[in-house]
């Protein structure tokens, strides 16, 4: 475009100063070598216009404009090198944060007790501000127990708090027979570690002998997938997140063979495109109701990223369970009159 303007203006090189812009623009997205090549090309074009059609046009104004091109090239190289170092540092921080997060989120599944289990973490970060989403599944003397949670905030502080919650849960899940006692222990762990405005939403789930118990502390309710239907397991009464002394009432469901349960953090329900949220409840059965639980989560992740065109605002933790046990035969009740007879 600059060349066209200069040619249209006539033989006098009046617009060579505009050639200082391309190196600066290149510095915004290219490496310093590309800026150098761009600047050298601009200087070459400027010299060509200065000597054509006659070499007597090397007056002071032309020299100043060519110097401006060289100066902008040097500035662009400096900016590009600085930006490159910043990107390298950011990549290093992101890698370290991701390694720290992966260290605390151990792989879960594929089977625990009567449940087939698969977990998936979908990261939104192209930067170091990763989230504090967490999950864990444990086979305890009280049945299979699961925790899913979301720490308020982002970054390494969120990862640190998530690590503390998971460490506490991995201990008390084996010690407490009542899920509400587990919640109380986790609440104290959070209160010791954070300020007044910090908290952790969480849900603790237990499956024992085909009975599902859910206690929810301000977390998105699990979705139960049964025979083509999607049922939101809302708590009997709302409870605040961990850190605010929750006393959640349990919700109890009797599982049927083939039932699936989706646990997730709010990044899933808040993912949106053009202001429209991802319709998880409407699409859950079509995405999660077939194949293995790992296949279901892979399908959900693909559909989600397609919905948001690959750009997520928040990390997402997802766990999909399937009740694989078959119902034991029900023995007929002994008549009351037969009790005690030989």
Query: Is 13's pLDDT higher than 60?
Result: no
Segment 24-28 long-range contacts (CB within 8 Å, at least 24 positions apart): 24/72, 24/75, 24/76, 24/79, 26/76, 26/80, 27/75, 27/76, 27/77, 27/79, 27/80, 27/83, 28/79, 28/83
Q: Is 54 contained in some domain?
A: yes
**What is the reported pLDDT for 195?**
64
SS (H, E, C) the chain: CHHHHHHHHCCCCCCHHHHHHHHHHHHCCCCHHHHHHHHHHHHHHHHHHHHCCCHHHCCHHHHHHHHHHHHHHHHHHHHHHHHHHHHHHHHHHHHHHHHHHHHHCCCCCCEECCEEEEEEEECCCCCCCCEEEEEEEEEECCEEEEEEEEEEEEHHHHHHHHHHHHHHHHHHCCCCCCHHHHHHHHHHHHHHHCCCCCCEEEEEEEEECCEEEEEEECCCCCEEEECCEEEECCCCCCCCCECCCCCCCCEEEECCCCCEEEEECHHHHCCEECCEECCHHHHHHHHHCCCCHHHHHHHHHHHHHHHCCCCCCCCEEEEEEEECCCCCCCCCCCCHHHCCCC
- Per-residue pLDDT of 282-333, as tens digits, reads 999 999 999 999 999 999 999 999 999 888 888 899 999 999 987 554 444 4
Q: What is the CATH number of the domain that holds 169?
A: 3.60.40.10
341 is a domain residue: no
203, two tokens: 């849900």
Q: What is the pLDDT of residue 110?
A: 93
Mean pLDDT within 139-150? 96
How many domains does one find in the chain?
2
pLDDT by residue (tens digit) across 228-278?
999 999 999 999 999 999 999 999 999 999 999 999 999 999 998 888 999
| Same domain assignment for residues 239 and 154 | yes
Same domain for 111 and 70, yes or no, is no
Do 190 and 300 belong to one domain?
A: yes
- Return the closest-CA partner of residue 127 out of 150, 159, 85, 98: 98
CA 132, distance to chain mean position in Å, is 9
Residue 146 pLDDT exceeds 60: yes
Same domain for 161 and 74?
no
Task: Using the structure block, give the residue that is written with the tokens 């409840």.
Answer: 281
Residues 184, 314: one domain?
yes
Whether residue 172 is found in the same domain as residue 29: no
Least confidently predicted of 22-31, 95-104, 260-269, 274-283:
95-104
Strands 316-323, 260-264: parallel, antiparallel or unpaired by DSSP? antiparallel
pTM of this structure: 0.70
Percent of the chain at pLDDT exceeding 90: 49
Q: 115 and 191: one domain?
A: yes
The pLDDT of residue 342 = 38
Distance CA 45, CA 66 (A): 10
| pLDDT over 60 (residue 227) | yes
Average pLDDT rounded to a whole number, residues 41-66: 65
Does residue 93 have a pLDDT over 80? Answer: no
Last residue of a domain, one of 54, 72, 96: 96
Mean pLDDT value of segment 72-89: 83
Residue labelled with tokens 């892979």: 298
Domain membership of residue 126 as a residue range: 105-323
Domain presence at residue 339:
no
pLDDT at res. 248: 96
* Domain identity same for 121 and 199: yes
């Amino acid at each position: 475009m600059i060349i066209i303007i200069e040619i249209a203006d006539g033989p006098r090189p009046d617009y060579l100063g505009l050639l200082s812009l391309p190196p600066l623009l290149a510095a915004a997205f290219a490496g310093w070598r590309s800026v150098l090549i761009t600047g050298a090309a601009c200087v070459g074009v400027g010299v060509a216009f200065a000597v054509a059609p006659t070499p007597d046009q090397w007056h002071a104004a032309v020299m100043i404009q060519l110097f401006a091109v060289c100066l902008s090239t040097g500035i662009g190289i400096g900016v590009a090198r600085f930006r490159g170092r910043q990107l390298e540092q950011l990549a290093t921080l992101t890698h370290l944060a991701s390694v720290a997060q992966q260290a605390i989120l151990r792989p879960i599944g594929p089977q625990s007790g009567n449940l087939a289990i698969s977990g998936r973490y979908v990261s939104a970060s192209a930067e170091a501000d990763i989230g504090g989403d967490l999950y864990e599944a444990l086979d305890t003397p009280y049945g299979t127990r699961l925790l899913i949670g979301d720490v308020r905030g982002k970054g390494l502080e969120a990862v640190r708090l998530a690590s503390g919650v998971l460490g506490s849960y991995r201990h008390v899940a084996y010690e407490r027979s009542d899920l509400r006692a587990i919640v109380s222990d986790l609440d104290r762990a959070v209160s010791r570690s954070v300020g007044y405005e910090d908290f952790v939403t969480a849900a603790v789930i237990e499956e024992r002998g085909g009975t599902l118990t859910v206690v929810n502390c301000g977390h998105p309710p699990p979705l139960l997938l049964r025979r083509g239907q999607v049922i939101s397991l809302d708590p009997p009464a709302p409870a605040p997140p961990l850190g605010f002394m929750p006393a959640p009432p349990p919700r109890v469901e009797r599982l049927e063979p083939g039932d699936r349960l989706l646990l997730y953090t709010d990044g899933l329900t808040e993912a949106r495109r053009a202001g429209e949220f991802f319709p998880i409840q409407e699409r859950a059965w079509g995405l999660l109701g077939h194949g293995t639980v790992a296949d279901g989560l892979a399908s959900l992740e693909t559909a989600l990223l397609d919905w948001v065109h690959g750009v997520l605002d928040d990390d997402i933790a997802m766990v999909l369970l399937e009740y694989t046990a078959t119902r034991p035969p029900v023995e007929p009740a002994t008549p009351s009159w037969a009790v005690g007879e030989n």
